[in-house]
Amino acid sequence: MYFSFRKLALLSVLSQHVAADFLGPTYPAPLDLTSSTSLVRAAWENLTETLDGYLKGNNTPAEVADFKKVTWSTGLFSIHDSEAKQLQYHYTSPQVKKGNGTKDVDGDTIYRMASVTKLFTVLVGLLELNEEQWNTPISKIIPGLAIYDNGTAAKDDPVYTTPWDKITPWALANQQSGVARQGLPFADLLFSASLAGIDISTFGLPPLDLSVLGPCIEVDCDEADLIKSMREQPPTFAGPWVSPGYANGGFILLGIALSHLMGTPTFSAYDELIFKPLEMSSSSADPPTEASKLARSVILQGFSEGSNLTIPSGGLLSTINDLAKFGTALINSTLLSAEETRKWMKPSTHTASLTASVGAPWEIYRYIHPDTQKVTDLYTKSGDSGNYGGNLVLIPDYGVGFSLLDGYQGVNVLDSSIRSTVQNTALDLITNAILPALEAQAAAEAKRNFVGIYKSNDPELVSTVEISFNNSNATTVPHSGITLERWISNGTDVLAAYFAGTRPRLLPAIPIGVDGGLVQGQVAFQATANSQATTYLDPQAVKAGVIGPFTGQNVNFDWLTAGGSPYGDFDVGLFVFDIDSNGKATCVRPAATRKTLERKAEGTVGAAIVRGIS
C-alpha cells in the first residue's frame, strides 16, 4: 500500500478537539511530578483530600460507601521523577486495627498480592526460557498430561478433552490456552459444597462423589496428583489461540512447566531473578515468620495459606514500595533489554471490548481522555482472590505507574465482592485524577521546552522554524499541541509548498534518552497534517461521509503515513531537537534540509511576544 504524503485527502471537517495519532504519547514524558508547581502533584493532593472526605465524612457517595471497610495502600512511581514514589495514600480499616499484624498501613506494609503474581511468573520465564522452550507443547514438558489413567492416548474429543499436545507455555502466559479457568479440584463447587455441608441438590445439580475430582482435593497435594486431577478436565475453548480466557489453572501449569525447564523450583526463582536484583526486600513467596515483618503485615484469613504449586498463579506477597521498584524496573528495562520489554508490553489479542486487550499476562485498558478523546494504554495486572487483592498499572507513554494493594475479610458470603468493588472503584478514581494531570503536565513542559523561534547562524541562509502551542487553558490539552507554525527553508515557505498551507502537529517518534537521571541528547518528532478520531463511529467522521471501517480508515491515518516522504533518505516530516540537561531544546534540525537552526527565542509564538534567550 503506497501513500503520497502530499496527496493525502485530509479529513478537515473532523473535530479539532479529537486526537488519535501514533500509538504512543502526544508529548515527551513529563519530568516533574512532585514540585510545588507540578499539575500531577496538585491532582494527587486533590484526590487524597477527596478520599479523606469520603473516609472521614458521613455524606459518602454510594459508590464509595464500603471504602471504610477495606484496608488499602496505593502510590505512584516514575522513571523520570524519583520522588514520585512519595505520592502515596493509605487507609487502615477498623478490622485490621483490631487484628494481628499492622495497626497502621504504609508503603512498607506487606499484603498478599493475589494474581498480580502472574506478572512475576511470566517475567521469570522471559528471563530464563528461550523461544523454543516457550513454544514446546506442555505435554512434552509435563509428561503426565499426555496420558490418561488407563494408559491410552487422549481421545480426540474437542468438547471434553484438553489438547495438551498443542498448548504451550506461551499460550498459558497469554491467557489463550483454552484450559479450564480454575483448574484446581479444591476450587470446584462440588468440593466447596461438601466442605460447607451444603446440599448441592438445592442448586438443581445431581449429587456426585468427590472421587470424580481426582486425587488432589487438598491445597497441599503433590505435583503428580495435581496433574492427574487436571489432565482430564474439559477445556473452556477448543484449543490454544481461540479466544482469551482467564485461567488460574493455566498459571499453575505454567509454574510447573517453568520448574521443569529451569531445573529449579519456580517459587525460589522469584527471589533470585527478581527480588534480590531489584532490592525488593519485603517481597517473598513465603509468608513472613519473623516478628518484625509480621508487625507490618495485613494479616487476615488466608495470609499464611497456600502451596508451592499455587504460588505462580497468585501466591506472592509484597508492598507498594517494592512494587514501585518493580514497576520502575519494567518501564526502565532493567532486567530485560529495551527491545524485549517493548515486545512484551504489547497486546497479543483483543477482547470483545474496544477498550480492553490481553497480553502475557497483561490486562490492557485503553483510557480515553475526556477533553480530546486521545487514547492512552494502561498495562495492568490485577489481583483478586479471597481476602486480598491489588493491581499494578504501568503507563509507558508517561514513564509512570501506580500500584494498589488491599485486604478485607468478609463476615459472610454476601461480603465476597466488597473488597474487589472498592479496589476497582479506587483504581478508577486514581486513573481519572492522574491521567489528565499527566497529559496536562506533559503539555506544559513541552510548551516550555520546544515552543520558540529557531534560526540559522549563517546570515546567508534564510531559514526559520517557528514552533507554537495552541492552548487557551493551561490545565487542558488541545488537539493541536506542539505545532509547526512556520517553516522557511532557504527562503521558501515549506508549509505552503509542501503541506498545502496547513500547520502540522509534531508528535514524538524517538523519545528523549535518560542518562544518570538527566535528560540530554536528542528527541525526534514526526510532522503530521492528518486530522484524526479514535474510531470511524465518531460523529464528525460520519458527517464527513464515513460509513464503515474501510472508508473510516482515514480517521486514524498516521500509522500509514509516518516517514512516508523521504528526501535523500531523510523524511521531510522528521524534526530532530537537541536537548539540554533540563529538557529544553537548544536547536532543531529539519532532517531533509541537513541544516541546524539554533533556538533564538522562546515563548508562545503567534500569541505573544517571544523573549530572547541570553
Tell me if residue 5 falls in helix, strand or coil.
coil
Domain range 71-183+233-407, CATH class:
alpha beta
User: How many angstroms separate the first and last alpha carbons of the chain?
Assistant: 49
**What's the CA gap between 11 and 536, in Å, rounded?**
12
**Which residues touch 522 (CB under 8 Å, ≥6 apart)?**
510, 512, 513, 576, 577, 578, 579
Is the predicted pLDDT of residue 68 greater than 50, yes or no? yes
> Which residue is it, cell 507498594?
320
Is the predicted pLDDT of residue 400 greater than 60, yes or no? yes
The stretch 395-419 carries a mean pLDDT of: 90
pLDDT tens for residues 244-266?
A: 999 999 999 999 999 999 999 99
The stretch 65-79 carries a mean pLDDT of: 95
**Residue 465 vs residues 303, 593, 596: alpha-carbon distances, Å:** 62, 12, 10
> Which residue is it, cell 495492568?
380
pLDDT tens for residues 149-169?
A: 444 445 567 788 889 999 999
Between 543 and 487, where is the model more confident?
487
Q: Following DSSP, what letter does each residue of 230-269 receive, concatenated?
A: HTTSPPSSSSTTSS----HHHHHHHHHHHHHHHTS-HHHH
The pLDDT value recorded for residue 450 is 95
Cis peptide before 539 (omega within 30 of 0): no
pLDDT band per the 50, 70, 90 thresholds, residue 186: low
The pLDDT value recorded for residue 156 is 64
pLDDT tens for residues 428-450?
A: 999 999 999 999 999 999 999 99
Between 474 and 67, where is the model more confident?
67
The pLDDT value recorded for residue 60 is 77
**What's the CA gap between 326 and 391, in Å, rounded?**
13
Average pLDDT for the chain: 86
User: Which pTM was predicted?
Assistant: 0.91
The stretch 276-292 carries a mean pLDDT of: 96
HSE of 308, CA atoms in CB hemisphere, 13 A? 13
Is the predicted pLDDT of residue 5 greater than 60, yes or no? no
The pLDDT value recorded for residue 151 is 45
Q: Where are the domains of the chain?
A: 71-183+233-407, 442-612
Whether residue 30 contacts residue 442, with contact meaning beta carbons closer than 8 Å, is answered with yes
The pLDDT value recorded for residue 197 is 76
pLDDT band per the 50, 70, 90 thresholds, residue 15: very low
Is the predicted pLDDT of residue 83 greater than 70, yes or no? yes
- Work out the burial of residue 446: count CB atoms within 10 Å of its CB; fewer than 13 is exposed, 13-18 middle, 19 or more buried: buried
The stretch 37-44 carries a mean pLDDT of: 98
Is the predicted pLDDT of residue 583 greater than 60, yes or no? yes
The pLDDT value recorded for residue 604 is 53
pLDDT band per the 50, 70, 90 thresholds, residue 606: very low
Beta-strand runs (E) in 474-595: 482-489, 492-493, 505-510, 514-515, 518-519, 521-528, 566-567, 570-571, 574-579, 585-590
The pLDDT value recorded for residue 475 is 39
